[in-house]
Each structure stands twice: as C-alpha cells, then as structure tokens.
Amino acid sequence: MSQRFFTQTSQDLVYLDANATTPVLPRIADVVSHTMRVCFGNPSSSHITGVQAKYLLEQTRAKARQVIGAKQGDILFTSGATEGIQTAVVSTLLAKRHLATSNSVLLYGATEHKAVPNTLKHWNDVLGLGAQVLAIPVDENGLLDEQFIAEHVDRALMICTMAVNNETGVYQNLQQLEQVIREHNKDVSWMVDCVQALGKQALALSDTTIDYAPFSGHKLYAPKGIGFLYIRENSPYTPFIAGGGQESGMRSGTENLPGIAGLYELFDLLLDKTSDVFKPVETLHGYRQQLITALENTFGDITFNAPLSGTVPTTLNFCVNSLTSKEVMDLFDAAGIRVSGGSACSSGASRSFVLDAMNASDWQSENAIRMSFGPAATEQDIALACERICALKPVLANNCLIVSDAAQPEHEVCALGLTQLRHQGSCCWLYVAPNNDAVIIDPVVELVPRLVRLVSQQQLHVKAVLETHKHQDKDSARVLLSNRLSLADNGDELGWPGAPISLGEQTLARIATPGHSADSHSYVLRHGEHVTACFCGDLFIFSGLGSTQFEDADTVQMAESIRTLAATLSDDSVICPAHDYEQCFALTWSAQLQATPLVQQLLNEQVSDQEFVVQKAKMDEQLITDCGALCGFSLVAKQENAQQLTVEQVQQMLEDEQHPTMVLDVREPYEHGAKDIRSLFNVNDGQLLNVPLSRLANAFFSHQLSPQTRYVLICRTGNRSGQAINNLKSLGFDNVYNLQGGLALV
C-alpha cells in the first residue's frame, strides 16, 4: 500500500484560505477520478474512446460559455490563470508591436496580482517594445482611478484590470470602467482577471468589450493545473504554445481531460438552480458577519482593511491592532485554523503591496490577515470556524495578548525575567523581577499597545522606561509609552532617574558608552557585583558592532566604551542589544567576543585605536541595513544545518534512558497553549520545556538550559527551531536536533 503522507481529517481543520486555493469537492473529485479510469481517451484520437473524450471536452466548453455569459468568442482551456494572462499579453503585444512608440504605455491596476505586471514587463522587454508600464492608482477603497485611465488610455497598447481583488475582495465596477476606457480608446485591448469572480459574481462577458478574461479551476473547488481563457471575437490572438495543433490550433499539447471533466462538474453545479452546494450571496454575507462577530469578540480591537460594502462576502482582510500578523497566524495555525497574511503568491513579502497602493497605514500593510472561504462553505463549516476562533480568547488573555477581566495570568507565561519584544529588526527589552518591579528598555512605537496591555494584565510596577540613546531617524517611543502608562516623567531625556534602580535582588545601573552616538549609554543588571545582563543599545548588535555613520558617532569613543564594558562583564553576562537583524535572540559576552575578532584584538591590544577605526570603517562600508535604516553590521557566522529527525527518531531518543533528552518547544506560549503536543511524542512534563525565541535570552539569564543536555527542538514548521539551533550552537550547545518540518509534517 502506498504511503499516505498527511491524513488530517476535515473535521480537524478549519480552512479559511480559499482565495489561495480550495479543496476539490467530492463530486468533482469523483468525476476527475472516473475520467482518469474510464473516459481517458485522447480528444485528438479518431476511435470511439477519443470521440468520447472530444465530446466531454466540447460539452465543458459549452457549459463554460453559459457560466460566464459568453455567447460569442473563444473558450480556450489552459493550465491556469497565469498561462491565460501570458496568452492574452503575448497576443496583444505581438499584434500591436508595429504601433509601439516611445509614447506608448501598458496599463495595469496597482492592486493586480503580480502575475499581471510581471508578465507585462517581461514581454515588453523581450519584444523590445520600449513601452512605459504604468500602474493605475487606486483610492483608499481599492477602486481604480478613472481619471488616470482617461488621461493615459488613449496611448495604451493594453489595459489590465481585475474583477475582484485576491487579497482584499474589493470588486471593480466593470461597466463604469468600460465606459471610461472605450470613451477614450475604443481599440485598446482590455484584459480582466476574473479568477476571484467566478462563482461569486454574475458574469455576462459577451455583453462587454472585454477582450480577455482568464480563469483558474483550483480557486473554486476544481483541481490545480486547469483553467480557461475567454477571448472576445476578433480580438488579437497568437498561440502561446505551438506544437501538435490541439484546441483548433490555438493551444498545442494534449488536453488535461481529467481537469476539464472537473470543470464540467463545477459548471454543472454553478448552473443548477436546484442545488444548494453554492450558496446565495445573502447567505454568504451572513457567514461573513458571523466570522466578524467571532473575531471582534475574541481579539477586540480590529481594523478591516477594505470597506465591507465594496467587497465580495467571501473575503475578509483585517489586522489585529495590537498583534502582528505572524503572531495571529501562528496562533491560528496552532488551533487548526488556516488563514494567510495577504496574498499566498506574495507570502515572502514583508508588507502588502495591495494595501500600500490603497494608502493603508504601515501597521495594516505589514500585519494584514486574509480570511477567505468559498461559496460552497456550509453553515456547519462557519459555525466550527467561529467556535475555534472564540476558543482562543482565554489563550490570548492568559498570555497578556488581549485586555481581559480574567484572573492575573501566570508569571512565567507573560513576563517574569527577560523578554525580547521585536518589531522587524528592532528589539525592546522587558525585565520583570519576582516582586513585579519592571523596567522597559528601548521601546518601539509599534509595540507600545502590547507593552501597555502586558503591564496592565501582569500588574507590573514599571520603575522606568529607558532608552540607550536618542534616535536620529525616528521618533522616540519612550514618552509615548510613559504617557500611556501614566508614569511620572522624573528622569533625563533617556528616562534615567539619576540613581540605580532596585529590581528585586537585582540592581540596574547606567554606564556612559558613547560611540554609536554621543549620548549612547548602556544599562547593566547586577546581582551583587556580578553583571547578569547588559542592555547595550547600538554599541553592539548581535555578533557585531553598531554603526558609526551618524554625525555624532565616534569610533575612538566606541573603542573606549568597549573597554569600559568589558571590565564589568562576565563570560555568562547576557548581551541585550537594540537590534537583532540576524535573528540571534540571545548571546553571552563570551559568545559575543568569539563572534567579533576585532573586539578581541582591541581588548588584547593587538590593534591600536587607529587600526580599530580603519577596520570599523571597512565594516561600515559593508553596512547591512534593515528598511533603509543605518543601524549595524553583523558578523554572525552561519551554522551548518541541524540534523533533522523524524517523529519516530525523536520518540526513540526520548525512550533512551542512558542519554536523557528534552523536547524544547520554541513556539510562543500562546501557540503552546492552543496546541498541546505531549501526546504527539508521548512525553511527560519533565521532558517538555517551552522556551519561545522571545524568551531565549531569559533561558541563559536564568541558567534554564544546559550544554550537557540533549535537546530536540520543535516549532510549527521547523524554521524557528532551526534559528534557535543556530543560536544554541554559537553558545556551545552541540547536542541539538531539529524535528523535520516541525509540527506541520507530524
């Protein structure tokens, strides 16, 4: 029997990412399977099996016409929407290249799927047209600027718009767009991406002057690898794929008959007015309102990134105003709820170009969540989704992620000790003593709501909000946070009250460490005379040195500051800088020295101050920046890939009594609370330790981890555990292993 890789049943999964792809409906899957086994003929064959295949193909084409309202024109089967877009663009540009001048433009909506502008730019370059590729702006509601179209379309070879946006669900008024386009250029080729409109909006393409409309099967319960393209009668066409002349010579290659059969069944369902598979718009609006209510009840402060009145009811694009998209997605994933951050096709991006085009705030763009369901969703599907979402509220409250009237959360879950809070490459440090006295160092504006909530829920007594230096390139968050916490402003411009701060058994002192800037200071946390942690701002970054490129920077002063700190630090002092671009999370002073040979040479008097200045200048020339900010240069040594273990190998390790093994869960506590993994590995509480990356520095601060212990690290996908392993190896941990693929492959 062949291996079944993943066997999670549908009742275990709440899938709310239908705009990325959909599961194949059982009825459609049955038809596809039947076609593979029974009606498997080649439509180009002349025998009966081939004739039957040809009949199925043409019947599907006829049904496609009915579904999209295309009485005339061609229906061309493709591998999907991307091929359809390529075909439309190539056909247009080849037909109109003799008209191209230096004044010609190619227009596309600024919120189009990236397949559109990338295709336009590619073929414009390949064909040497020299046309200007222009994005049509949109307003804050995502609607195209009709005035811009009117001003530029008269010199356009092609204009590309979309019916429904894949990220926000915003739909365009195609009738109004058509009027503007044709009033100013009746001959321009017009392509409309209709992928997200199929099954959600009524289409009557023959009643329009749309020249091309690509569609994709897998966005609406059909298999991947099948789509179709509508081509208006007499619109330019050139075969994109040449060969055996299939599809009446329009698209060569043996047709994907099983996929086409899947489309046939899909079209049948869409056309069957007696079927309840696809829900009416009113029902879908009701579903969406149920999800909105569940989200608002669970998360509280939510911003919807597109007007609900102008979007299809199957899409919600929102951000939680005090949680990052990664935090929300990790939490949802742990609870078995699948959503995406923006477009699945742009998942590598740090922000949404769609929301940027709509002039949304940085927070909205960077932390957008897309929640989408298909028009075949059932009442039971939505009820389960709402139940799962609402079940997260106590997890959020217990981890200080929302404001709650519940009892005070457990200390270890939220804040006791050292916590690193990150926004992009910036680090804010929170230290909480056992008596709830606390200090916050180098706060970040975007993290202020979370810090306020954490202080309130944890009932912390914040004794100071401190900065290591004033920032030349951004506003300070210290004053904002102090005001939100109603703290008396009795310190200097960095928040320092003028005397050491008592924090339980620890004492926080300040040391002047100029170099990165003239006003740079470091804060050292002491237990007696021993420095347990050093908050060094931008004097150091993880495994590197801060920038000396600002006007008031001084490399000679930096050298002296390094000597000053070195005289106070111990090998196990935890280094807490203000930036962490390399995702190191935690380093001790001894590890910092090993990673920065120049610092070692300076302290060993192997280089003079003048030589240090020269070497540091070379580093600054190679400065690695984050988001264009001059912050630091990192020298992190890349570690070899960690050994990957299967679940079975992990279990064998755990059962080996001669070599004790710990499972180290590096997910955040809220993920840990949403998904209990003990049963997956048959581990007891003594073999399982939850140390999230944000608390990795605290693990060394509190001596929670031992290099002599064998650890198997786990997270959601294996990425964070891999980062932690790199960090642990740099700190002398050799017996560390990674669960292959994380919990996603269990």
Is 715 a catalytic site residue?
no
448 near 477, Cβ under 8 Å? yes
Q: For residue 461, give the amino acid letter.
A: H
Handedness of CA 339, 343, 346, 352 (dihedral sign): negative
Cross-strand pairs, 106: 133, 158
* Residue 557, SS3 per DSSP: helix
- The 8 Å CB, 24+ separation contacts for 178-181 are 178/208, 178/209, 178/210, 180/146, 180/149, 180/150, 180/153, 181/149, 181/153, 181/209
* Residue 482, SS3 per DSSP: helix
Cross-strand pairs, 135: 108
What CA–CA distance (Å, rounded) separates 219 from 225? 11
| Alpha-carbon distance values, 128 to 1, 39, 99, 154 (Å) | 54, 45, 13, 21
The total number of residues written for the chain in this structure:
746
CA 584-585-589 angle, 5° bins: 80
418 near 429, Cβ under 8 Å? yes
What CA–CA distance (Å, rounded) separates 542 from 694? 14
Q: Which of 508, 478, 286 is nearest to 375 (CA)?
A: 286
Task: Give CA 691 to chain center in angstroms.
Answer: 23
Q: Which of 270, 390, 377, 271 is nearest to 314 (CA)?
A: 377
Which secondary structure element, helix H or strand E, spans residue 81, and what is its range?
A: helix 81-96
Buried b (16+ CB within 10 A) or exposed e, 692-728: bbbbbbbbbbeeebeeeebbbbbbbebebbbbbbbbb
Q: For residue 153, give the amino acid letter.
A: V
What CA–CA distance (Å, rounded) separates 191 from 148? 17
| Alpha-carbon distance values, 117 to 164, 461, 649 (Å) | 16, 53, 47
Q: Which two tokens stand for residue 465?
A: 């909000």
User: Going by C-beta distance under 8 Å and a sequence separation of 6 or more, which residues neighbour residue 628?
Assistant: none
DSSP state of 499: S
| Alpha-carbon distance values, 517 to 117, 429, 535, 537 (Å) | 43, 20, 15, 10
Buried b (16+ CB within 10 A) or exposed e, 562-589: bebbeebbeebbbbbbbbbbbbbbbbbb
What is the residue-wise DSSP string for 18-68?
A: TTT--PPPHHHHHHHHHHHHTS---TT--SHHHHHHHHHHHHHHHHHHHHH
Buried b (16+ CB within 10 A) or exposed e, 473-494: eeebbbbebbebbebeeebeeb
| Alpha-carbon distance values, 619 to 232, 285, 365, 555, 564 (Å) | 59, 57, 33, 12, 22
What CA–CA distance (Å, rounded) separates 566 from 278? 69
- In the chain, the largest separation of any two C-alpha atoms, in whole Å, equals 94
Rg (CA), the chain: 30
What CA–CA distance (Å, rounded) separates 3 from 449? 48
Catalytic residue among 39, 160, 319, 345: 345
What is the residue-wise DSSP string for 105-155?
A: EEEEETTS-THHHHHHHHHHHHTT---EEEEEPB-TTS-B-HHHHHHHGGG
Q: Which residues are catalytic?
A: 345
